[in-house]
């Protein structure tokens, strides 16, 4: 875990389907509330579809750039906006996890007893489905590293969520949760600093 890095540059070597399936098998071993397993994964290996997804993201990034250019943050965004899509351009595989929120049984039982919504903090309010799908993505990233693959977990592509979901037919109640750029690494990133435990942990 301490050796895993986010990889954004990849070789042209294709990733075998069996290798991708191995990562997904690791992903679906993540824990989930009541074992609901509320996740799905869209796997894009077709270069044409991948190029279309990148174009969708670039289009929204350009719209954002046009707005931000009117402010004093013009140069800041110019340096940052390419991160929304560049790793996806270089990666031979793009995996797009998505999740659905299930009916909250506890909330339904409380309502049947006369409670009002918001009277209690129920499992649905804790965003359990989102949390466990994020855990599934972490499993996938760790397995990729163990298998010698490189991967980059990206939230940036969600700026074009509607266009991506339409293109890949990801419909409600499913919600896109970012994208993973995947391939054989063409770089060895240096470790990024982490805050010390005394800054992030409180003992009681």
136 near 147, Cβ under 8 Å?
no
Q: Per-residue pLDDT tens for 97-134?
A: 999 988 777 888 888 999 887 788 776 667 889 999 99
CATH code, domain carrying 139: 3.40.109.10
Is 34 contained in some domain? yes
Tokens of 75: 């140069």
Is 194 contained in some domain? no
What is the value of pTM for the model shown?
0.90
Is 202 contained in some domain? no
Tell me which residue range forms the domain holding 154: 17-183
- Alpha-carbon separation of residue 90 from 51, 57, 110 (angstroms): 10, 14, 50
Q: What is the mean pLDDT of residues 62-77?
A: 81
pLDDT at res. 65: 86
Task: Judge whether residue 88 has pLDDT over 90.
Answer: yes
Q: Per-residue pLDDT tens for 12-51?
A: 999 999 999 999 999 999 999 889 999 999 999 999 999 9
Task: Give the integer Cα–Cα distance in Å for 157 and 122.
Answer: 30
- Counted domains in the chain: 1
Query: For a pLDDT cut of 90, what percent of the chain falls above it?
Result: 73
């Amino acid at each position: 875990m301490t050796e895993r890095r986010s990889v954004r540059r990849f070789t042209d070597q294709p990733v075998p389907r069996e290798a991708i399936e191995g990562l997904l098998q690791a992903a679906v071993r993540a824990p989930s509330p009541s074992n609901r397993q509320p996740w799905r994964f869209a796997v894009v290996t077709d270069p044409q579809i991948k190029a279309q997804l990148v174009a969708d993201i670039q289009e929204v990034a350009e719209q954002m750039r046009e707005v931000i250019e009117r402010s004093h943050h013009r140069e800041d965004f110019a340096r940052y906006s390419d991160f929304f899509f560049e790793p996806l351009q270089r990666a031979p595989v793009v995996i797009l996890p998505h999740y659905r929120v299930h009916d909250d049984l506890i909330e339904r039982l409380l309502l049947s007893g006369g409670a009002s919504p918001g009277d209690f903090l129920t499992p649905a309010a804790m965003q359990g489905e989102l949390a466990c799908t994020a855990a599934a993505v972490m499993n996938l990233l760790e397995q990729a590293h163990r298998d010698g693959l490189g991967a980059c977990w990206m939230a940036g592509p969600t700026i074009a969520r509607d266009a991506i979901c339409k293109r890949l037919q990801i419909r409600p109640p499913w919600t896109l949760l970012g994208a993973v750029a995947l391939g054989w690494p063409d770089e060895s990133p240096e470790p990024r600093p982490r805050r010390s435990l005394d800054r992030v942990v409180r003992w009681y």
